[in-house]
Structure 1
């Protein structure tokens, strides 16, 4: 019988180490096989998801660039593109002196103008060019015009007309809208030479009021002039010094007002002369007749509920014909006098336009020319009647409208 050799302690430790090594190899091989099986299962699962899934595309919206403009933004931009080439900057030099000086002093001022004809007629505010010793006009493309003439000023409104010598150049005039149809809340755009430095600045806002009376002042280095203006359009579009004479436009790019004044003690309040008030004088200027202002010859106050109650009329709106201080209600020999208009009459319409709602008498008459015949609808002793009036030409020094 064969006998197994006796193992030493060292041999026994070596044998145990070999057995443990084999066990670890088996475990490692098993783990590797398990990983392989799991990986294969995930691959099959993911391929199944890939075949059945619906891909959702990301929104094509950039967060780090310009978004598409809104309809409101596009409307303002379109007006600016259309109108800017018809808006000019006006630079004036004024010679001023005082009783304390034996020499004159020159100062510069700035404003804005509107091209109203292809051959170089410009409308602006009277206060922009009043007392100017020289006038320069700068077009939107940088063209400078130094040969500029004042061809006329409206005696009853802050409006003046200039003429440029443009040679064979054909300018682009702005289209005139209808200020009688504007509404409070309507969107508007203003363009002008803001602060006399920022040519063709574009701002936007709304019409925030109508029929506003304003006493405007214009200061020079040695003089200050004030002027009472009525029936103005109020807007919250930003208007600054230098914008005077520039256009207030509707969303169609039509002029509905001429910017004229800013409220200095409030933010977001500025005023424009309704464009209809200058249409009559513009026609006479373009016809080469100078400024000819239509004239009615009546003194009046615009009715409010309080005034209507005070004067005892049943009319809700209109122009109440009345005396002013020591001046009679009707100017003797005037068109109003010849037509038979009387004190205490209420003028409710001029042609089809409602006095009060669509403008005061001055603005509505300003749309016509001397010699035009208009129909006045009046309320007298509670009864409505219509009279025809042939307008005359305003002569300096006359009062009343």
Structure 2
């Protein structure tokens, strides 16, 4: 080998020797970066936990436990069942003078409402509360207590502040366990295809995996700033980690009327609407190229009728703002009072035009089957079952024209926050199936429920007016 070859080998060997410290340096730098990343993640997790704990600690004094008592129904047999029925729920203080926000179903039908508030020493103080106003449609109630001092409050924010996967804190009174704290994330925003309490809603629900149990209803759902973004409302008893809350924006829209009038005075447009679908378009002979909120019915003599709206019209906007969902239009109408003038953007065939409608006074509601039965002198209902409802055999005249088969179990009353109440059963419902098996009357319903063991899944098929609903829960 010549001297040139020796020099080449020497240079290569020197390059390898010089490269080894560089490789070691890069490996050490990579390990250090990974260690720093892990430490940063640990600090972030610790900060999040500290934030959640701080939110709960600061909010606790403004969260209240609610206990309701309702007299036993007339005709109840002597014994334990003639004792007043007790219900539990949650709420939170929104004004230092003692105004409290909760869910309407917590206090519905109650003869008395008592509130437990923590004082500065962490001791519980009891107060009797007055129901200032309630609204079944949004499931909100405003209460008032007279305390000898100014009370701590929670600030009402907006549900727009939280997004899917954001942390939230829920505080309430589940199963009577006052000031229980659960933590979770926002699982979904904008649920509209559910009826957590058996009522059709005109607004979106917020879904969370934070534990929500009977007694949590009316409690606050807080963001990491400690402000209320929603109100705990219902849980899917057949699943795990599926709870629902109503955005606080809905409560803020009705609170002024609850305080001033005791109820929500809604204007009436006089139309039925539905989301556009190919099937609906075909049924109304509409072009599939034209989308919008579909007018499916117009009440004769209603404000909409007088303004010239027709079945098949497509509504695309309200007061200059675009709308694409039927429930959004219904909610917008429900927040406007009688006499309010609204502008609708309408498409009919190839024509686009605007129409202004002055909202009227809603017509009287059609009496429920329970009201019909009471008016006809129906015998007293059977005493409440252990699941929290008074049941009787269905009378044909109490459920006129809703089903060809008059058999079923008629629900006379439902105890607030009971198992059946939380599942969505309401007075006037007719249960005609349990777990897909037909029910002929009260005794068969009670027998089928009694035959199921604790923890068994229960699916009730219910008629409510002209609708059929499926309500599910687990037997306690």
**TM-score band, normalised by shorter chain:** 0.5 to 0.7
Alignment of 1:334-349 (within 5 A): 334-349=302-317
Note if contact 2:118-2:125 (Cα within 8 Å) is conserved in structure 1. no
1:356-392 CA distance string (max 9 Å, x none): 5796233334444455444433443355544444445
Which protein has the larger Cα radius of gyration, Structure 1 or Structure 2?
1
Note if contact 1:258-1:273 (Cα within 8 Å) is conserved in structure 2. yes
Q: 1:119 aligns with which of 97, 107, 116?
A: 97
Q: 2:168 maps to what in 1?
A: 188
Q: 1:83 maps to what in 2?
A: 59
Q: What is the CA distance between 1:118 and its match in structure 2?
A: 2.6
CA separation of 1:229 and 1:68: change in aligned 2, threshold 3 A: closer
Q: 1:96 aligns with which of 69, 72, 88?
A: 72
Note if contact 1:194-1:201 (Cα within 8 Å) is conserved in structure 2. no
SS in 2 for 1:122: strand
Q: 1:153 maps to what in 2?
A: 134
Q: 2:210 aligns with which of 237, 243, 267?
A: 237
Q: What is the CA distance between 1:161 and its match in structure 2?
A: 1.8
Alignment of 1:4-153 (within 5 A): 70-97=46-73, 99=75, 101=77, 104-141=82-119, 142-153=123-134
CA separation of 1:68 and 1:300: change in aligned 2, threshold 3 A: closer
For structure 2, the residue ranges without an aligned partner over 5 or more in a row are: 1-34, 368-476
Q: What is the CA distance between 1:183 and its match in structure 2?
A: 4.5
Task: Give the number of equivalent residue pairs.
Answer: 321
Note if contact 1:148-1:163 (Cα within 8 Å) is conserved in structure 2. yes
CA separation of 1:381 and 1:276: change in aligned 2, threshold 3 A: farther
Please give the alpha-carbon distance, in whole angstroms, between the structure 1 residues aligned to 2:60 and 2:353: 46
Note if contact 1:213-1:229 (Cα within 8 Å) is conserved in structure 2. no
1:168-193 CA distance string (max 9 Å, x none): x2234333333467644444332221
Q: What is the CA distance between 1:243 and its match in structure 2?
A: 0.8
1:165 aligns with 2:139: no
1:295 aligns with 2:282: no
Please give the alpha-carbon distance, in whole angstroms, between the structure 1 residues aligned to 2:307 and 2:263: 25
Q: What is the CA distance between 1:204 and its match in structure 2?
A: 2.4
CA separation of 1:186 and 1:67: change in aligned 2, threshold 3 A: closer
SS in 2 for 1:80: helix
CA separation of 1:83 and 1:259: change in aligned 2, threshold 3 A: same
Note if contact 1:321-1:343 (Cα within 8 Å) is conserved in structure 2. yes
SS in 1 for 2:251: helix
SS in 2 for 1:173: coil
Please give the alpha-carbon distance, in whole angstroms, between the structure 2 residues aligned to 1:89 and 1:375: 43
Note if contact 2:60-2:179 (Cα within 8 Å) is conserved in structure 1. no
SS in 1 for 2:111: strand
Q: 1:265 aligns with which of 238, 249, 260?
A: 238
Please give the alpha-carbon distance, in whole angstroms, between the structure 2 residues aligned to 1:358 and 1:276: 18
Please give the alpha-carbon distance, in whole angstroms, between the structure 2 residues aligned to 1:124 and 1:290: 14
Note if contact 1:236-1:269 (Cα within 8 Å) is conserved in structure 2. yes
1:178 aligns with 2:158: yes
CA separation of 1:76 and 1:181: change in aligned 2, threshold 3 A: closer
Note if contact 2:156-2:227 (Cα within 8 Å) is conserved in structure 1. yes
Q: 1:276 aligns with which of 244, 249, 257?
A: 249
Please give the alpha-carbon distance, in whole angstroms, between the structure 2 residues aligned to 1:250 and 1:321: 38
Q: What is the CA distance between 1:262 and its match in structure 2?
A: 0.8
CA separation of 1:94 and 1:334: change in aligned 2, threshold 3 A: same
Q: 2:295 aligns with which of 309, 313, 321?
A: 321
Please give the alpha-carbon distance, in whole angstroms, between the structure 2 residues aligned to 1:78 and 1:397: 47
Q: What is the CA distance between 1:93 and its match in structure 2?
A: 1.6
Please give the alpha-carbon distance, in whole angstroms, between the structure 2 residues aligned to 1:239 and 1:374: 38
Please give the alpha-carbon distance, in whole angstroms, between the structure 1 residues aligned to 2:276 and 2:207: 19
SS in 2 for 1:295: coil
Q: What is the CA distance between 1:291 and its match in structure 2?
A: 1.6
Note if contact 2:275-2:325 (Cα within 8 Å) is conserved in structure 1. no
For structure 1, the residue ranges without an aligned partner over 5 or more in a row are: 1-58, 218-225, 323-328
CA RMSD in angstroms, aligned pairs only:
3.7
Q: TM-score, with normalisation over the residues of structure 2?
A: 0.57
1:397 aligns with 2:365: yes
Please give the alpha-carbon distance, in whole angstroms, between the structure 2 residues aligned to 1:260 and 1:377: 34
Q: 2:181 aligns with which of 187, 191, 201?
A: 201
Q: 1:227 aligns with which of 199, 212, 225?
A: 199
1:192-243 CA distance string (max 9 Å, x none): 21222142423221142413233345xxxxxxxx533453222222211111
